[in-house]
């Protein structure tokens, strides 16, 4: 065959096209693929569920650690504050005694002012304690 | 076709996108695998593997590369990996090529015998030339499309195709002379 002969080359092209036309996957390829994907999906589903559960447990564990750390920190703050307060009372006992004496004088001079400020301080303290306990004091006011 | 598939992906429907992708790319993926592996069964196995990979990765496709380019690259890599996994010394020639050639040779007309010789001649072509011939004639594709499928420059594909056709023409002429 002359490779310069266009007619002969066209015939070759036609023959090659005909020979390659049936170059395709066998019957049922897409069904087999669907089955393979279903298998893959099933095989992946179990590890994925286990992984999700493990992830959830990791999150819970992290939260528990964080809560423990927070509680330890709060206890430390309370202990230091308590100790500090005790030392302060010990160290400044004469000054405190003087202050108490002046308070006592205030009660005598302006009892209404003393009662109001004492009630306000008690209210603020109670409010803070209730909030710390997770109770919403506003609900008592109907808010 | 690619636009429709990408639109389905953008709409968060990867399963529908995949359902459109398989028939659109089945012959092309198989053609790439067959051109590299020269074995229908192995090529079909690779084609299945490629589509499973596409199914797994389709929802993560970010359109940075053309969809077709991405699919062809996966198909080429899977085929080359499969080729490397083959035991050394195993013949690359597809038993189906011989069977097909034998069947054609046993046909009644001289044209069948010529077709059989042509099949064998294609099978003997150098790897790149055979891959180009396979993809070019499988669906009468353009050299541009074959170039994209094989990840080669268009001019390289044209050169391979020109040389392959010349070889095949000579092989066919030799067969005719021997028969005469």
Q: Is A116 helix (H, G, I), strand (E, B) or coil?
A: helix
**Would the pLDDT of A8 be above 60?**
yes
> What rounded mean pLDDT belongs to chain A?
85
What the block records as the tokens of A50 is 């286990």
Contact criterion met (CB below 8 Å) for B101 and B120:
yes
Domain range annotation of chain A = 29-91
In the block, which residue shows the tokens 């066998």?
A26
How far is B148 from chain A, CA to nearest CA, in Å? 19
Query: Which pLDDT score is estimated for B98?
Result: 57
Mean pLDDT calculated for residue range A4-9: 82
**Would the pLDDT of B23 be above 80?**
yes
Query: Which pLDDT score is estimated for A110?
Result: 79
Chain-chain contact of A12 with B169 (C-beta, under 8 angstroms): yes
Model confidence over B65-79: pLDDT tens digits? 899 999 999 999 999
B64: DSSP letter: S
What the block records as the tokens of A118 is 């004492």
Q: Is A3 helix (H, G, I), strand (E, B) or coil?
A: coil
Give B 76-135 residues with CB within 8 A of chain A.
114-115, 118-119, 122, 133-134
**What is the share, in percent, of chain B residues with pLDDT greater than 70?**
84
Q: Is A21 helix (H, G, I), strand (E, B) or coil?
A: coil
- Given CA atoms A49, A55, A59, A65 in this order, what sign does their dihedral have? positive
d(CA B98, CA B154): 31
Model confidence over B81-118: pLDDT tens digits? 999 988 765 555 555 555 555 655 555 455 677 788 88
User: What ipTM, to 2 d.p.?
Assistant: 0.83
What is the model's pTM? 0.65
Q: Is B73 helix (H, G, I), strand (E, B) or coil?
A: helix
What the block records as the tokens of B160 is 């391979």
d(CA B26, CA B44): 10
Nearest residue to A12 via CA among B114, B107, B104, B174 = B114
**Would the pLDDT of B33 be above 90?**
yes
Number of helices (H) and strands (E) in chain B: give both, helices first. Answer: 9, 0
How far is B64 from chain A, CA to nearest CA, in Å? 26
Q: Which residue has the higher pLDDT, B46 or B13?
A: B46
Model confidence over A87-142: pLDDT tens digits? 988 888 888 888 888 877 877 777 788 788 889 999 999 988 888 888 887 777 76
Give B 18-77 residues with CB within 8 A of chain A.
22-23, 26-27, 30-31, 34, 40, 44, 47-48, 51-52, 55-56
Query: Which pLDDT score is estimated for A59?
Result: 87
In the block, which residue shows the tokens 């170039």?
B147
Smallest CA–CA distance from A37 into chain B, residue: B52
d(CA A60, CA B136): 59
**What is the share, in percent, of chain B residues with pLDDT greater than 90?**
56
pLDDT band at A4 (very low <50, low <70, confident <90, very high): low
**What is the share, in percent, of chain A residues with pLDDT greater than 70?**
93
Query: Which pLDDT score is estimated for A88?
Result: 87
Query: Which pLDDT score is estimated for B24?
Result: 94
Chain A positions in Cβ-Cβ contact with residue B22 (cut-off 8 Å)? 30, 33
Mean pLDDT calculated for residue range A2-14: 82
What residues contact residue A81 under an 8 Å CB cut-off, 6+ apart? none
Model confidence over B121-172: pLDDT tens digits? 999 999 999 999 999 999 999 999 999 999 999 999 999 999 999 999 998 8
Chain-chain contact of B27 with A40 (C-beta, under 8 angstroms): no
């Amino acid at each position: 065959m002359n490779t310069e002969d266009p007619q002969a080359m066209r015939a070759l092209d036609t023959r090659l096209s005909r020979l390659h036309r049936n170059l395709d996957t066998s019957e049922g390829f897409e069904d087999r693929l669907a089955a393979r994907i279903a298998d893959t999906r099933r095989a992946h589903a179990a590890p994925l569920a286990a992984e999700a559960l493990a992830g959830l447990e990791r999150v819970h564990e992290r939260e528990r650690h964080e809560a423990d750390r927070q509680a330890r920190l709060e206890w430390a703050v309370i202990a230091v504050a308590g100790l500090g307060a005790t030392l302060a009372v010990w160290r400044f006992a004469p000054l405190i005694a003087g202050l108490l004496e002046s308070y006592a004088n205030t009660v005598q001079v302006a009892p209404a002012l003393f009662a109001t400020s004492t009630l306000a301080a008690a209210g603020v303290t109670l409010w803070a304690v209730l909030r710390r306990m997770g109770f919403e004091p506003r609900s008592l006011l109907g808010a | 076709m690619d636009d429709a598939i990408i639109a389905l992906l953008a709409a968060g429907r990867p399963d529908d996108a995949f359902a459109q992708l398989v028939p659109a790319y089945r012959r092309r993926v198989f053609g790439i695998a067959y051109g590299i592996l020269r074995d229908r069964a192995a090529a079909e196995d690779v084609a299945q593997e490629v589509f499973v990979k596409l199914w797994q990765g389709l929802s993560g496709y970010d359109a940075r590369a053309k969809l077709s380019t991405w699919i062809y690259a996966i198909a080429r890599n899977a085929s080359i990996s499969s080729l490397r996994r083959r035991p050394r010394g195993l013949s690359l020639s597809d038993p189906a090529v011989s069977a097909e050639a034998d069947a054609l040779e046993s046909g009644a007309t001289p044209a069948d015998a010529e077709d059989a010789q042509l099949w064998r001649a294609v099978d003997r072509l150098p790897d790149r030339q055979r891959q180009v011939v396979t993809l070019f004639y499988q669906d009468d594709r353009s050299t541009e499309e074959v170039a994209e499928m094989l990840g080669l420059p268009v001019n390289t594909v044209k050169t391979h195709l020109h040389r392959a056709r010349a070889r095949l023409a000579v092989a066919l002429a030799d067969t005719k002379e021997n028969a005469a």
